[in-house]
């Protein structure tokens, strides 16, 4: 039974990695486009891009990663998912600010570092708090 749970968790983690990759492409591409082509400040672009990635992540997580494990009503579930995402967005902003404005890294490099760190927060917070059926 323990092996089955571990295998299921690993499968979910791998699927979440794929979903995270897709959401990252949306997030990173939007960040780049809004900063370079729309002329927005990189921190404002980062918030808007993170939101776009969050929506993609939510939809794909419900449909593919955590399917059949919904234990909340949809409105409450999305609210909790979004709160976890907002905490992730705060971490994202903090890491990008520290990397870019404090350490002098290019904003896209700071975003890569942020993505790697926030990925783990998002997966485990959502798994434990929302989809631990």
Least confident of 8-22, 58-72, 81-95: 58-72
Q: What's the confidence (pLDDT) of residue 62?
A: 86
Q: How confident is the model at residue 103 (pLDDT cuts 50, 70, 90)?
A: very high
Q: What's the confidence (pLDDT) of residue 70?
A: 66
What length is written for the chain? 133
The span from the CA of 99 to the CA of 115, in Å, is 12
The span from the CA of 113 to the CA of 115, in Å, is 5
Q: How confident is the model at residue 54 (pLDDT cuts 50, 70, 90)?
A: confident
Examine the pLDDT at 110 and tell me if it is beyond 70: yes
CB atoms within 10 A of CB 125: 17
Q: How confident is the model at residue 29 (pLDDT cuts 50, 70, 90)?
A: very high
């Amino acid at each position: 039974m323990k092996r089955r749970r571990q295998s299921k968790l690993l499968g979910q983690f791998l699927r979440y990695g794929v979903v995270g990759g897709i959401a990252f492409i949306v997030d990173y591409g939007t960040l780049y486009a809004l900063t370079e082509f729309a002329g927005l400040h990189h921190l404002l672009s980062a918030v808007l891009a993170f939101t776009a990635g969050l929506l993609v992540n939510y939809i794909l997580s419900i449909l593919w990663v955590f399917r059949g494990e919904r234990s909340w009503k949809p409105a409450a579930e999305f609210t909790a998912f979004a709160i976890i995402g907002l905490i992730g967005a705060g971490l994202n902003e903090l890491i990008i600010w520290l990397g870019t404005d404090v350490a002098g890294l290019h904003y896209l490099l700071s975003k890569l570092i942020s993505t790697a760190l926030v990925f783990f927060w998002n997966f485990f917070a959502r798994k434990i708090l929302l989809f631990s059926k």
